[in-house]
Chains A and B, each alone.
Chain A
């Protein structure tokens, strides 16, 4: 832990009314908050890009009045800037306009200028200049399935972008009301990758379509590049073959509904989840605040509750509002729709509150810098 005591832990907290930054300089024992940054804008995505000489922070923001934008900081959030021209914009001929930026995803480590963005409406954008300017990936925008992709309750969006860590031509994305798609030719062509994922909102007999599932989140296994985990609109899954097929890992969870899915950065098979009772009842089962941790790739689960509220927790954790940091003893974090943020310094064994009374938390990302 000695190295951690001399480093800064940074936790970015995106909310519906701005960005908060939490910093810890004592090994995550205590935190100082600043914010709101970008007051009165929705912050649907944040990212900490540690590939360059200095960390770069991203925030995908959206103002009700003035539209969406990508904000960048190269000084750990002390100052922010953007480009004069819109960094992400649908080109002429698409007749589409950007609604939100749901995901900013740094590319592979050996391509530090490559950054991806997933948006609403469902589209993938690629930047080759470190995230200052993006271009639409036409192969996915022009996909023949597009007309049948449906919005989820939160909108039709590509909310997860997973560049392959070792093969720059491979990217996997997940979208609401469309499912998982992947490419092996840098985005020129895409195929649906939802075999085994159920769509419970379709009639019996039609619940395993090729596409159209409402996949809430996918998480790659950082250790085993062909392994993914998924939290679906009812259903929790794992794939061991690069999303070719999915198997259920929901047994042992109190519910198979929820939004986030997070994988440990180094320990294979360790994953985190925050179940809600059902799509029609979006509370934690029994009003119990619990992060569920699996240590065997989802074969079994345990509730992690030490330090979490035990007197009723009637709120939800959204798909990007849970994350891990990259410390040796990995920190785990989540934020709720009631503006509370909790963190664990011991991989989920125990928790403490980092922030309260914030607006609806939409996304979190953390790193040790």
Chain B
């Protein structure tokens, strides 16, 4: 099955310049599995999306078909064929 991942401008340099990536995944994937597949392709994204204990970075939002993952099941959020995952830096800084 295929999911689409959209990267913000600030992260595209770590994905070969790509802003849109299609990932082929085994059936019944979760958001966490999709991220694992992403960072296998682009290792420099790992620490920018998750800390070393695998926790999602606090100020990085991941919208799964328009719903922020923390309102769903976080990294355990199930994905369907055609899911769009949008990574958007949240409100932070000053």
Contacts and interface: CB of A to CB of B under 8 A. Distances in A.
Interface centre among B47, B48, B59 (most CB of A within 10 A): B47
Nearest to B90: A65
Nearest to A64: B92
Contacts of A90: 52-53
Interface in A66-86: 66-67, 69, 82, 84-86
B10 interface: yes
Nearest to A68: B47
B37 interface: no
Interface string A85-105: 110011110011110000000
Contacts of A65: 10, 48, 57, 59-60, 89-90, 92-93
A84 B40 CA distance: 11
B46 interface: yes
B44 to A, nearest CB: 5
Contacts of B55: 97
Contacts of B48: 63, 65-67
Nearest to B44: A84
B90 A95 contact: no
A86 B60 contact: no
A64 B44 CA distance: 17
Given A65-B90, A66-B11, A86 B59 contact: no
A67 B14 CA distance: 14
A95 to B, nearest CB: 6
Given A66-B57, A91-B52, A96-B53, 16 more contacts: A64-B59, A64-B93, A65-B89, A65-B90, A66-B10, A66-B11, A67-B48, A84-B44, A85-B46, A86-B47, A86-B52, A89-B52, A92-B53, A97-B51, A97-B52, A97-B53
Interface of B: 10-11, 43-44, 46-49, 51-53, 55, 57, 59-60, 89-90, 92-93
Interface of A: 40, 63-67, 69, 82, 84-86, 89-92, 95-98
17 contacts: A63-B48, A65-B57, A65-B59, A65-B92, A65-B93, A66-B48, A66-B60, A67-B48, A85-B47, A86-B52, A89-B47, A90-B53, A92-B53, A97-B52, A97-B55, A98-B51, A98-B52
